[in-house]
Structure 1
Amino acid sequence: MTKKLNLKVNNVRIALNDEQDLVGAVAKKLKVNKETISEIKVLRRAVDARRKSNISIIYHVSLSISDGAKNKNRLLRDNDITEFRVAQEESLKYGGAELDERPIVVGAGPAGLLAAYWLAKHGYRPLLLERGKALPERIKDVSRFWGGGAFDEESNVQFGEGGAGTFSDGKLTTRVNDPIMQKILKLFVDCGAPETILTEQKPHVGTDKLRAMVAKITAQIRSLGGEVRFQSQLTDLKIKNNQVCGVVINHSEQLNSNVVILACGHSARDTYELLHKRAVAMEAKTFSIGLRIEHPQTTIDQAQYGEFAGHPLLGVADYALVHHEPTTKRSAYSFCMCPGGVVVASSSEKGGVVTNGMSMHSRNSGLANSAVVVNVGPGDFDNNPLGGVEFQRYYERLAYITGGANYMAPGQSVESFIRNTSPTWSNDLKPTYRPGIKLSALELLLPNMVSTTLKAGLIAFDSKIKGFAGPQGFLTGIETRTSAPLRIVRNTESYESISHMGLYPTGEGAGYAGGIMSAALDGYKVASGVIKKFKPLQ
């Protein structure tokens, strides 16, 4: 009986104009008969649009071939072909230290949810505390605000079940290369995310499917013995001899624990102020500010895909752009690009305007948006841990006042911004930000080095995507929450605060992640660190 050979084959290329016969393409690459191939599984799918006249779909696959023994040496000489072995999951060993009480997780964004889920799965019965509301009430509050109603500082785009990702594009891309990512993606699929996220190079869920997924993760935490409480804000830490021994919730309820995982998100400024008051080690770090830009999605599709724009195998196009400006020694770049999305009001404090991008799974709004931002750092503001927070707040309040002090956002056409002429609307493009837009000179809302770099960047981007700086582009301000403005410093091995034992800074708000997947991964790793140190609760 012929022994099968299990292989991983990378870079199987099928031109968009060709028949999409994956088995045939693999057989051609391997130089074997199609009939010898079985158990083929797509591991990764990506679009290669570098040559617009010959766009291809690139696959990485695993498979078995029946006549593998006689072909093994020949096949393995190809750098794209390796023997395929299922990775063995590393067993997690429990620690021996005793927990005083159940672990407390603060924040129900991606980092907090994954930390609480992983702890609950291993018998630690965590208590997950979220300052905002559960999804149904939160969605109502945000919809009311976007419609011109009251703004709620505790139930908004930043705070509540699922964190800021609940009102986002739901992108699951990350630059972090870690095998745990696949485990997290599989959890997301088990909780309702589409299976395509397991294979797409740029996986995307969409805010509608993400919300359903988050609700199921919350339910799983509860079913595994954890507890989840909403409208439970961290207002103080209980500290004894630089050891965190519990938390105070809503200025009244005291809860004891010698493990507090802090996954508060990058907009919990009052939490940052509390930590600073309690002398928790923090440091200012770089982040970026700028504006949010919109174009017709067809402009982006045609620029990226040429004659293939609109092809069903491609979907809507995205972009990633960067320009290094020598006159300011800074960089302008696109960030959080949302094909087929809308620009949303993302304030978390009264008297401030903040923008972000969001899309549904279908990405069918007809418009593309992205932040276009410039790096800033401690040299641009007071070099103390909260200096970046005050820097953000100053420009958010300036945008609020300029917009009319009613949460309307200032905005203008790309052309009028670049030319520094009177603000105008764009041709045939209705901006999506709600409650609405007030035409304003955006240059006055940004530091000079940021506006100068942005203008140069927009012109440079137009050379890469025709029409980017053209009459159909529109800018809305202001974009400030690209990442945390500080880092809560932790031990690289134990994940504990370097100043306070028992406090575990986690995720994007602590300065250790940027986006849904890297935040979820950090939550998983911090929870694993707790598991390796402590025994499960009996």
Structure 2
Amino acid sequence: MLRITELKLPLDHADDALRPALVQRLGIDSDELLDFTLFKRSYDARKKSTELQFIYTIDFQVRDEAALLKRLSHDKHVTAAPDVSYKVVGHAPADLNERPLVVGFGPCGIFAGLLLAQMGFKPIILERGKEVRQRTKDTWGLWRKNILNPESNVQFGEGGAGTFSDGKLYSQIKDPQFHGRKVLHEFVKAGAPEEILYVSKPHIGTFRLTGVVENMRQQIEALGGEVRFEQRVTDVLIEDGQLQGVVLDSGERIDSRHVILALGHSARDTFRMLHGRGVYMEAKPFSVGFRIEHPQGLIDRARLGKYAGHPKLGAADYKLVHHAKNGRSVYSFCMCPGGTVVAATSEPNRVVTNGMSQYSRNERNANSGIVVGITPDEDYPGSPLAGIELQERLESHAYIMGGESYEAPAQLVGDFIAGKASTELGSVEPSYKPGVKLTDLADALPAFAIEAIREALPAFDKQIKGFSQHDAVLTGIETRTSSPLRITRGADMQSLNVKGLFPAGEGAGYAGGILSAGVDGIRIAEALAKSMLGITG
């Protein structure tokens, strides 16, 4: 198999134009091209003066690959294709006498459970929330009726926090073993659109993710795995540094010397329990800020120019960074084109925001987190749990600022920059449900964060004209950008001081988003399988 990169075609090329373009580019006869597969499709919209084109990476087969490589040895865009197929590390023995446990059924737990099931280990998966259909109803209960279920919401339940998000499937992690391709292929197998295998910034969207995660659960169960909902782990059993099992809120004890902790970043009660049991963990940086909303058309015009609204491009996104004078970095986070701002709290009397999009990305507004990085040494020293405590204080205050009804405090961008409270909305209608309360966000975050964001918004306007328009809306607060702690693991992927405990995913501080969490789930499942099989290295 060979690969060609940087094959460019016009934006409106015909569906059947790829093959002749590939044949022409390679300088071969059509019958010499045996097969080809689209590996990646992207476009570069940075230069507004040039015509926008699709840029393709294609894997292909020809009759005589060696001869073609020799003839095109000077062409850096034609090479042998890397082997991205997944290699299983081993299989469980027929007389398996121990079943591994997976705690949490978000993206990391799903892929950890799926891989273990595919290897024959018949995992038992424990999820504190409900199955995805019922969880969706409970989540809408907060959004439409101001009723929070602390165990079934945006954060907890089948699919994890990623289910109620934009469904982004791209990441900047290093992935030398191409585990990300395994993640994408499994999603497609479970019903995700096939285009996620090749578009440069793939996404699924909430409604489609619901069916995908259901199908993946069914695959796990068909392979002998077991998924138990509404099963919250309240204790871990440790003897002489070796994990022996877990205890559930029902009082049931489940014995296993191999447990994957695939917690979400909001499992604060579990973090406290683990800290109390002496499991080694450390504070790590995270970010806090607001959600910002603009008309999606404004973003499309700024990013795509005359191509704004083109059906093959869809809603435009952005990525922004500003280094403020006070030494803080302000950046856009989890940008959701054509999406909505959602209530994402999992705890009573607290307000947290997040962003969500459907696959179509056709809602009127674009939204993104505008967040400021904070560090444990400078901003929340002390216990590894200090970051959680800071989040809780900010979220509780946001609840009060919003009127103690799960409405969120909000402010027009122009008023925020000017330092005065907002009293009425302009042309941008905020999408947050249950609703917003206009106020002054100046005391919603630490003073250094407010100062940095006030400086960043006009700076971002230089990159996206209209970004700091007066009636764009800021909605507070965004605090759960990532886990504020790390349950540190060693080279064997196990806890530094509890053998048999495998911390993984976003809650453990080893992922940030669906794709990276899925990849970490695969890696942690491989490590656990090797441990159970006695494989070293």
Are residues 71 and 92 of structure 1, via their aligned partners in 2, closer, same or farther at CA, if it must alter by over 3 Å?
Answer: closer
Rounded Cα–Cα distance in structure 2 between residues aligned with 1:191 and 1:149: 33
TM-score for both structures, normalised by structure 1: 0.94
Task: Note the C-alpha offset of 1:34.
Answer: 5.0
Residue matched to 1:210: 209
Aligned to 1:348: 346
2:286 alignment partner in structure 1: 287
Among all aligned residue pairs of Structure 1 and Structure 2, give the percentage whose two residues are the same amino acid. 47
C-alpha deviation, 1:255, in angstroms: 1.1
Q: CA deviation at 1:264?
A: 1.3
Q: Structure 2 matches for 1:471-482, cutoff 5 A?
A: 471-482=470-481
Equivalent AA in structure 2 for residue 23 of structure 1: R
Distance 1:512 1:87 in 2: 23
Partners of 2:131 and 2:92 in 1: how far apart? 33
Q: Aligned pair in 2 of structure 1 residues 254, 91: CA closer, same or farther (>3 Å)?
A: closer
* 2-structure distance, mates of 1:87, 1:504: 26
Distance 1:424 1:79, change over 3 A: farther
Taking structure 1 as reference, are residues 524 and 85 closer, same or farther at Cα in structure 2, changes over 3 Å only?
closer
Give secondary structure in 2 for the equivalent of 1:147: helix
| 1:524 aligned onto 2:519 | no
**Whole-angstrom CA distance in 1 between matches of 2:388 and 2:66:** 62
Give the aligned residue type for 1:159.
Answer: F
Alignment counterpart, residue 8 of structure 2, candidates 6, 10, 13:
13
Q: Which residue of 1 aligns with 2:90?
A: 93
1:31-54 Cα deviation digits (max 9, x unpaired): 445564341221101121111232
Equivalences, count: 529
Partner amino acid, structure 2, of 1:334: S
2:375 is matched by which residue type in structure 1?
Answer: G
Is the 2:146–2:405 Cα contact (8 Å) retained in structure 1?
no
Q: Answer whether contact 2:352 2:478 (CA < 8 A) is retained.
A: yes
Partners of 2:272 and 2:511 in 1: CA distance = 20
Q: Is the 8 A contact 1:120 1:126 kept in 2?
A: yes
Could you tell me which runs of 5 or more consecutive residues in structure 2 were left unpaired when the two chains were aligned.
none
Q: Which residue matches 1:489?
A: 488
The answer to whether the 8 Å contact 2:231/2:248 transfers is: yes
**1:26-85: CA deviation from partner (whole Å, max 9, x where unpaired):** 344334455643412211011211112321211000223457665542312111111336
- CA drift at 1:149: 3.5
Q: Which residue of 1 aligns with 2:26?
A: 30
Q: Secondary structure at the match of 2:481?
A: coil
Comparing 136-145 with 386-395, greater Cα deviation is found at 136-145
**Pair 1:364–1:219, CA change in 2 (3 A):** same
User: For residues 141-152 of structure 1, what are the structure 2 equivalents within 5 Å?
Assistant: 141-152=138-149
**What is the Cα-based RMSD across aligned positions, in Å?**
2.0
Q: Is the 8 A contact 1:99 1:258 kept in 2?
A: no
The answer on whether the counterparts of 1:296 and 1:472 sit within 8 Å (CA) in structure 2 is no
The 8 Å contact of residues 86 and 179 in structure 2, kept in 1 or not, is answered as no
1:256-289 deviation digits (Å, cap 9, x = unpaired): 1111111111000000100111011000000000
Query: What residue is the counterpart of 1:3 in the other structure?
Result: none
What aligned pairs does 1:171-210 form with structure 2 within 5 A after superposition? 171-178=168-175, 179-210=178-209
- 1:469–1:511 Cα change, 3 Å: same
Tell me the TM-score normalized by structure 2: 0.95
The aligned amino acid for 2:321 is V
Q: Distance in 2 between matches of 1:264 and 1:394?
A: 22
* One-letter code aligned to 1:118: L
1:507 pairs, out of 505, 508, 533, with: 505
Q: Check the 8 A contact 2:96/2:121 in 1, yes or no.
A: no
> Aligned equivalents of 2:190 and 2:511: distance in 1?
23
Alignment-mate amino acid for residue 11 of structure 1: E
Q: Among 32, 42, 46, which residue is 1:46 paired with?
A: 42
Select between 249-258 and 69-78 the one with higher mean Cα deviation. 69-78
- Higher deviation after alignment, 138-147 or 50-59: 50-59
Range with bigger deviation, 424-433 or 330-339: 424-433
Alignment of 1:423-442 (within 5 A): 423-442=422-441
Contact map agreement 2:69 2:79 (CA 8 A) in 1 = no
The structural deviation recorded for 1:254 is 1.1
C-alpha separation in 2, matches of 1:499 and 1:100? 25
Pick which of 102-111 and 57-66 moved more: 57-66
In the alignment, the residues of structure 2 paired with residue 312 and residue 207 of structure 1 have an alpha-carbon distance, to the nearest angstrom, of: 21
